[in-house]
Every structure is written in structure tokens, then in C-alpha cells.
A = this chain, B = another copy of it.
Amino acid sequence: MVRQADTGLGEERLTRQRDAVLQVIRSREDHPTANEIFQAAREQLPTISYATVYNSLRYLKEAGLVHEIKFGDGASRYDRETDRHDHAICNECGKLVDFDLPQAAELIQAAARKSKFQAASVHLTLRGICPDCRKR
């Protein structure tokens, strides 16, 4: 068996469909939704179905190849950056930007102490106005 990527997920494989979904995400600067990924993937693989996009996204997520970003508003977005990081969302135009907060390690400690939870991860979201919208 030619396994194109060892994902640690057993007998599963990086199929054409999954690879197409992965390439869409990797080729974009932004954070596309499942629907946007579906539209783009269809240009490569015209018969790919919506369900396969979702299946692929789940697979890629579990394999650690992409990252899912969920805010309450609308659809999940997918991110090629899989290392821990934070997000800023523009209240005017909706733009979503990645950034990293170096104090994340202390934060997770402080949050765990306050909440009495055993910490697994912290997610921090800044809402505000992006540089472009600020100019206007």
C-alpha cells in the first residue's frame, strides 16, 4: 500500500479528494468555509460532493493537517496553520487574522487555576477594527 502521508490513523489514506481539499486550504491566505472549499475543490474534481468535503475536513483535522476555527457566527472556517495561535476578527468587515500571543503558556496556567479545570487548550479571540477598516 502506498500511503502518501502517515497520519497515524491506521488504514486511512490521503485520497485525491482529501488531497484536493488540503491543497485548497494550503493555497489560500484566508480562512475558507466548507462551502468555499467545496466550490474551489470542484474546479479540480468536478464530481466531488459536499459530504466528501466534510468527510475530508474531518479526516484532515484529525490527522492534524488543518485546523478548524469556529465562531458562533456562520460556518466553520479552516486554517492551514496548525500550530497553536489566536484570532482577531474585524467587527466591520469580518476579516479574520491569525496572530500568536507569546504569553499563552502563562495564560493557560492562570485560566486553569481560576476555573479549577485541568487545562487542555486555550483559545483567545480579539474583536475590533482591522487596519484597513480603521483607515476609512
Contacts and interface: CB of A to CB of B under 8 A. Distances in A.
A4 interface: no
Contacts of A122: 124-127
A6 to B, nearest CB: 26
Q: What size tier do the contact residues of chain A reach?
A: 35 or more
B129 A111 contact: no
Contacts of A76: 72
A131 B116 contact: yes
A121 to B, nearest CB: 5
Given A101-B111, A112-B126, 13 more contacts: A72-B72, A86-B114, A88-B111, A88-B117, A97-B115, A103-B110, A112-B128, A117-B128, A117-B129, A117-B130, A121-B126, A122-B124, A122-B127
17 contacts: A70-B71, A70-B72, A72-B72, A86-B114, A90-B117, A91-B120, A97-B117, A101-B107, A101-B111, A103-B110, A111-B124, A112-B128, A117-B128, A118-B128, A122-B124, A122-B127, A124-B124
Interface of A: 68, 70-73, 76, 86, 88, 90-91, 97, 99-101, 103, 107-108, 110-112, 114-131, 134
